Chain A
């Protein structure tokens, strides 16, 4: 299964990034450049939708953290949205990422937090 990344600009400075498929070694490598390009932006607010991620490994988490740090350093903010994806939320909680990057189960909550 291939890994895809798409984005929707909700406003000039607010973007939703959706990742679909596996964030394993191959999948993370396949989207890493595009993910970084989409996430970057001074003061940008970003919701990363992981609800359709079927597998999340540490290399995928590394990519998420790196991009979240880069965005924060430019005055932006990233939040994560997992929907009802229990496997992904479990991995994020296991690694403590949920304490570093806000994690939400609904799109509405994630968008509100990103814009707050």
Chain B
């Protein structure tokens, strides 16, 4: 199910600019906290959102592009959909770089996608009507 196609509880539009990343993560943390998302899950969402935005801004930026954010929260799941009109790019299609055996072999970059994949519980991507739509989510157990 793509939760954001129903009724996202919060939406935010930002410029595709590095200066906007902190505003986006602050919005996500505040909105998630107010709706009772556990702190550890908020931290996971924040890290993923930071990496998604960093990738879009670094690799898909155009001067006037904006980025839409949608947050949806159910009883034990929170999802964030990031939409942009930059060049089509499916982060899930990017092959992780080989794990280096030594520090000398290590490539300092390319870790953002790996972090998203390993930090979130769900990821999906589609390109529709000129827009990239990447959704990631976290799930948690309830004690009820």
Known: A66-B108, A94-B118. A58 touches B51 (CB 8 A): yes
**In the complex, what residues of A have CB within 8 A of residue B21's CB?**
24-26
Once the chains bind, are B109 and A94 in contact (CB under 8 Å)?
Answer: no
Q: Mask for B99-133, Cβ within 8 A of A = 1, else 0?
A: 11011101011011011001100000000000000
**In the complex, what residues of A have CB within 8 A of residue B100's CB?**
96, 100
**In the complex, what residues of B have CB within 8 A of residue A26's CB?**
18, 21-22
Known: A65-B108, A94-B119, A95-B111. A58 touches B103 (CB 8 A): no
Min C-beta distance of A32 to chain B, whole Å: 12
Contacting residue for A59 out of B22, B54, B102, B114, CB 8 A: B54
Contacting residue for B99 out of A24, A57, A58, A96, CB 8 A: A96
B46 within 8 A of A: yes
A31 within 8 A of B: no
Once the chains bind, are A25 and B103 in contact (CB under 8 Å)?
Answer: no
B15 within 8 A of A: no
Contacting residue for B108 out of A25, A69, A72, A91, CB 8 A: A69
- Distance between Cα atoms of A2 and B5 in the complex (Å): 37
The count of residues in chain A whose C-beta lies closer than 8 Å to any C-beta of chain B is 24
A61 within 8 A of B: yes
The count of residues in chain B whose C-beta lies closer than 8 Å to any C-beta of chain A is 24
Min C-beta distance of A113 to chain B, whole Å: 14
Contacting residue for A58 out of B43, B54, B102, B104, CB 8 A: B54
Min C-beta distance of A59 to chain B, whole Å: 7
Min C-beta distance of A96 to chain B, whole Å: 5
**In the complex, what residues of B have CB within 8 A of residue A94's CB?**
114-115, 118-119
B50 within 8 A of A: yes
- Distance between Cα atoms of A58 and B107 in the complex (Å): 12
Once the chains bind, are B106 and A65 in contact (CB under 8 Å)?
Answer: yes
Once the chains bind, are B112 and A72 in contact (CB under 8 Å)?
Answer: no
B47 within 8 A of A: yes
Once the chains bind, are A100 and B106 in contact (CB under 8 Å)?
Answer: yes
Segment 17-67 of B: residues with Cβ below 8 Å from A: 18, 21-22, 25, 43, 46-47, 50-51, 54
Once the chains bind, are B111 and A62 in contact (CB under 8 Å)?
Answer: yes
Given contacts A25-B21, A69-B103, 10 further A-B contacts (CB under 8 A): A26-B22, A55-B50, A57-B47, A57-B115, A58-B109, A61-B111, A62-B108, A65-B106, A91-B119, A95-B115
The 5 closest A-B CB pairs, nearest first, are A58-B111, A62-B108, A65-B108, A58-B112, A100-B103
